[in-house]
Amino acid sequence: MRRYLRMLVLCLGCGFCSLLYSLNQFAVNLEEEASGDGGKLKAAATSWLTVSKRIAGKGARSVGPKESPGGPDRYNKDVSLSYWNPYWMLPSDVCGMNCFWEATFRYRLMKTQSSDTMHLAVVACGERLEETITMIKSAIIFSIQPLQFHIFAEDQLHHSFKNILILKEVDSLLYVDTDILFLRPVDDIWSLLKKFNSTQIAAMAPEHEEPRIGWYNRFARHPYYGKTGINSGVMLMNMTRMRRKYFKNDMTTARLQWGEILMPLLKKYKLNITWGDQDLLNIMFFHNPESLFVFPCQWNYRPDHCIYGSNCREAEEEGIFILHGNRGVYHDDKQPVFRAVYEALRNCSFEDDKVHSLLHPLELELQKTVHTYCGRIHKIFMKQLTKSIRDNYVRSSKERNNSGEAFC
């Protein structure tokens, strides 16, 4: 018996040390990204920035003021950033003993938050950090209203939308995967909240436009929304309605709230689901279709929309609004057009002239991709990006003129 107790104590000690090490490494990574050339978050936020850091009750440390590299008037966007990590274990029969939810500390950039602040959430850790920084960069470059980022981090990436319930003070939220790139302002998708009817609580795009290549309608072993299912890589949510909603389900005649339904659903379908939280959302909205607002594929454009030939009509007409590089296409050569856009945004700086440093080099790279189906329609990858950069210049010019008039 004593031998088992000693082993138990030893295991607990090792686990605690591993936890401390993981938290330390994650904190170091975040600090390096925030201060290095890849992040540039401080330059984008404002002419000076106060960073408050709170870790495990050790108080706060402020750093500032510092001028942005582009000069005091170059950027005046309000940006706030939160990293989360409160740990609690999931049952071992769900996803293993090393499965954690959420994060243990929080960063906050800029204490001010206006009523028109847009909230954007993402789950990121490990190899996803570079993608996350690039996604954040694309959001900051083009957006107009103040942004607040909520970054959830965990060791094994076994995440769930149950995390989102922590944000009790947030009325609405845009959740995105780390492999998302904004090619137009976040404000534009945020404005779709106004199009929700009285029963709708969330908005997503279809998983497929073409049923012949659809995954859910051919392989799913569980209920799914509509004809081809929905994709959760870009999910706009009215959090207030979501917290109040009682969902119909196939487990009980009683309706259950968001926080009550996810774990029972996971336990019921854990042997039948392939795509994790996305499958659970498909099941939920299969039983509650009136609660979902479906936006067009151009808001969540993926390789499936062009890999076998173009099948997103809205993108063909107006261009791609949000690019979703699933299947790892940002990091291999299978779909070079996706990788080219990602590399262009990853390498661009907030201080650069976007026309000469981003658009022109990207256009040259995209012309090299015409040997692929997606590359043959590379102009739809440039259409909204070009418009967003042009609009950004127009706004900046107006702001400078207005500032000059006010000064005079």
Q: DSSP for 74-91, please give it.
A: S----EEEEEE----BPP
Q: Mean pLDDT over residues 183-188, rounded? A: 96
pLDDT of 165 reads 57
In angstroms, the Cα distances linking 248 to 12, 30, 62, 253, 289 are 41, 40, 47, 8, 10
**Nearest alpha-carbon partner for 352 in 137, 123, 36:** 137
pLDDT of 230 reads 95
Please give the structure tokens belonging to residue 38: 């890849």
pLDDT of 67 reads 36
Angle of helix 258-269 versus helix 277-287 axis, rounded to 10: 110
Please indicate whether residue 64 or residue 176 has the higher confidence score (pLDDT).
176
Confidence band, pLDDT 50/70/90 cuts, at residue 283: very high
Beta carbons of 38 and 133 less than 8 angstroms apart: yes
pLDDT of 152 reads 78
Residues whose CB is less than 8 angstroms from the CB of residue 357 and which lie 6 or more positions away in sequence, other chains included: 348, 349
Confidence band, pLDDT 50/70/90 cuts, at residue 226: very high
> Highest mean pLDDT: which of 78-82, 258-262, 298-302, 304-308?
298-302
Confidence band, pLDDT 50/70/90 cuts, at residue 8: low
Of the listed ranges 84-93, 227-236, 275-284, the one predicted with least confidence: 84-93
With a cut of 50, say whether residue 99 has pLDDT above it.
no
Confidence band, pLDDT 50/70/90 cuts, at residue 62: very low
Beta carbons of 337 and 374 less than 8 angstroms apart: yes
Q: Mean pLDDT over residues 359-386, rounded? A: 96
Q: Give the residues across from 180 on adjacent strands.
A: 324
Q: Mean pLDDT over residues 293-304, rounded? A: 97
pLDDT of 222 reads 93
CATH of domain 118-299: 3.90.550.10
SS3 content of the chain, % helix, strand, coil (to 5): 45, 15, 35
pLDDT of 57 reads 30
Please indicate whether residue 273 or residue 14 has the higher confidence score (pLDDT).
273
With a cut of 70, say whether residue 293 has pLDDT above it.
yes
With a cut of 50, say whether residue 156 has pLDDT above it.
no
pLDDT of 125 reads 65
CA distance 403 to 399: 6
- How does DSSP classify residue 115? T
What percent of the chain has pLDDT above 90?
47
DSSP string, 248-312: --SS-SS-EEHHHHHHHHHHHHTTT-SSTHHHHHHHHHHH-GGGEEEPPGGGSB-GGGTBTB---
With a cut of 50, say whether residue 353 has pLDDT above it.
yes
Q: Mean pLDDT over residues 210-230, rounded? A: 91
Please indicate whether residue 162 or residue 401 has the higher confidence score (pLDDT).
401
The pairing of strands 79-84 and 180-182 is: unpaired
Confidence band, pLDDT 50/70/90 cuts, at residue 310: very high
> Highest mean pLDDT: which of 21-35, 150-164, 336-350?
336-350
* Separation of CA 34 from chain center: 17
pLDDT of 403 reads 67
> Mean pLDDT of all residues in the chain?
76
CA distance 299 to 235: 10
Q: Mean pLDDT over residues 376-383, rounded? A: 96
Q: Mean pLDDT over residues 196-214, rounded? A: 94
pLDDT of 46 reads 25
Beta carbons of 202 and 237 less than 8 angstroms apart: yes
pLDDT of 364 reads 95
Please indicate whether residue 285 or residue 5 has the higher confidence score (pLDDT).
285
pLDDT of 335 reads 95
In angstroms, the Cα distances linking 213 to 134, 157, 306, 311 are 30, 28, 12, 11
Q: How is the chain split into domains, by residue range?
A: 118-299, 326-400
Q: Give the residues across from 107 on adjacent strands.
A: 53
pLDDT of 103 reads 32
CA distance 184 to 107: 26
pLDDT of 151 reads 81
Confidence band, pLDDT 50/70/90 cuts, at residue 370: very high
CA distance 80 to 145: 12
157 three-state secondary structure: coil
Other beta carbons within 10 angstroms of residue 285's beta carbon come to 23
- For residue range 22-38, list pLDDT tens digits in order: 445 444 444 444 444 43
Please indicate whether residue 127 or residue 286 has the higher confidence score (pLDDT).
286
CA distance 282 to 259: 16
Q: What is the pTM of this model?
A: 0.74
